[in-house]
């Protein structure tokens, strides 16, 4: 067996806090410009931020979505795109377009509010999904492995997420990149053991309605308002209901959460031991009580808050995670 060589920080745990002090989770807006430049440099080192079509399309898409703001001013003023052609008549962007787009990307990255930065990074990340491959899940026969196809479709995004999350974690930033977009970071153990496996499992087209409600829930959560937190809870409960409907009936539209749980257990689709049954019942009771109290479909007794909506999010993730390991 090869002998293990430990770094100083491994032999002396206290040294780690001196080498890289723990800053606590921070918003992007709390970073200074020097830190943002370091983060940029690491992405460049990993070959993500380069003269590529994805950089150009990201800035162009941001401009198109928010015309009044036009965050990529140099790209807009450049009046491109300009193209060149190779011997096979394949079309490429001229370097002039790629260079101005990269300058805009860099300026937005350094100067804009975190919501603009994360919107740009979300667009950039989305361009790394092989949509042709992911769409093919709908056209495959039932005996093919949707998970393998989804993993192929998301491979480049997963590679980007690995570097993105390592860099952001090193700078104690409070978000991470997943297949469902940029989300707020939870406890590391919760993210690794629950969130990421669930998000990966739900990546296939089979669960598109569940993903839609989860995405809506995350968008509402990120509003950071009482109304947003209440909307978040509503979408989270809808996501769970859609998950159970698809699990039991292979489509959405039929069944409430309680009866669906019972039916899924009868069909041995989810665990049905006595402890699990009690846990499911308790979780269902909490969800229904909180939806009635602060969700949107019913007259609210009060608005939800960040702590409550995060608790509901964790409960539903735990619930689904327990179902999929059945």
Question: What is the pLDDT at residue 143?
Answer: 45
Using alpha carbons, select from 282, 280, 288, 291 the residue that is nearest to residue 323.
Answer: 280
The beta strand positions in the chain, using DSSP E, are: 83-85, 91-93, 175-178, 181-184
Question: What is the pLDDT at residue 223?
Answer: 77
Instruction: Evaluate if residue 19 carries a pLDDT over 80.
Output: no
C-beta of residue 143 within 8 angstroms of C-beta of residue 149: no
Mean pLDDT across the chain, nearest whole number?
82
Q: How many CA atoms lie within 13 A of 170 on its CB side?
A: 13
- pLDDT tens string 154-169: 999 999 999 999 999 8
Angle, helix 53-65 to helix 114-126, in steps of 10 degrees: 130
Using alpha carbons, select from 54, 40, 59 the residue that is nearest to residue 168.
Answer: 40
The beta strand positions in 35-90, using DSSP E, are: 83-85
Instruction: Evaluate if residue 312 carries a pLDDT over 90.
Output: no
Tokens of 31: 């970073």
In terms of Cβ atoms closer than 10 Å to its own Cβ (0-12, 13-18, 19+), residue 142 is: exposed
Instruction: Evaluate if residue 1 carries a pLDDT over 60.
Output: no
For residue 177, which phi and psi values (nearest 5 degrees)? -95, 130
Indicate the pTM of the whole model: 0.65
Helix (H, G, I), strand (E, B) or coil at 218: helix
Q: Which residue's structure tokens are 């590391």?
A: 188
Instruction: Evaluate if residue 23 carries a pLDDT over 50.
Output: no
Per-residue DSSP letter, 193: I
* H/E stretch holding 100: helix 95-111
- pLDDT tens string 266-280: 888 888 878 777 877
Q: Which residues pair with 181 in a beta bridge?
A: 178
């Amino acid at each position: 067996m090869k002998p293990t060589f430990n770094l100083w920080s491994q032999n002396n745990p206290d040294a780690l806090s001196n080498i890289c002090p723990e800053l606590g989770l921070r918003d992007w807006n709390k970073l200074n410009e020097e830190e943002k430049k370091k983060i940029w440099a690491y992405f460049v080192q990993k070959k993500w931020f380069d003269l590529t079509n994805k950089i150009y399309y990201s800035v162009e898409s941001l401009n198109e979505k928010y015309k009044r703001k036009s965050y990529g001013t140099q790209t807009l003023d450049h009046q491109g795109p300009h193209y060149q052609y190779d011997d096979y008549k394949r079309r490429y962007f001229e370097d002039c377009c790629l260079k101005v787009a990269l300058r805009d990307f860099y300026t937005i990255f350094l100067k804009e509010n975190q919501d603009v930065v994360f919107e740009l990074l979300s667009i950039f990340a989305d361009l790394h999904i092989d949509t042709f491959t992911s769409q093919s899940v709908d056209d495959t026969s039932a005996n093919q492995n949707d998970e393998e196809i989804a993993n192929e479709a998301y491979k480049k995004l997963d590679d980007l997420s690995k570097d993105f999350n390592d860099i952001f974690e090193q700078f104690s930033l409070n978000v991470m990149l997943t297949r469902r977009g940029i989300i707020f970071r939870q406890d590391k153990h919760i993210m690794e053991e629950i969130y990421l496996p669930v998000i990966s499992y739900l990546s296939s087209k089979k669960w598109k309605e569940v993903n839609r409600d989860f995405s809506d829930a995350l968008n509402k959560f990120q509003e950071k308002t009482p109304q947003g937190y209440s909307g978040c809870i509503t979408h989270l409960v809808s996501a769970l209901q859609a998950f159970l409907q698809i699990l039991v009936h292979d489509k959405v539209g039929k069944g409430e959460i309680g009866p669906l749980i019972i039916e899924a257990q009868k069909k041995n689709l989810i665990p049905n031991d006595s402890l699990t049954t009690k846990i499911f019942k308790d979780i269902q009771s909490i969800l229904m009580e909180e939806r009635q109290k602060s969700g949107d479909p019913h007259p609210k007794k009060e608005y939800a808050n960040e702590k409550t909506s995060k608790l509901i999010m964790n409960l539903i993730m735990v619930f689904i995670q327990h179902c999929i390991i059945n």
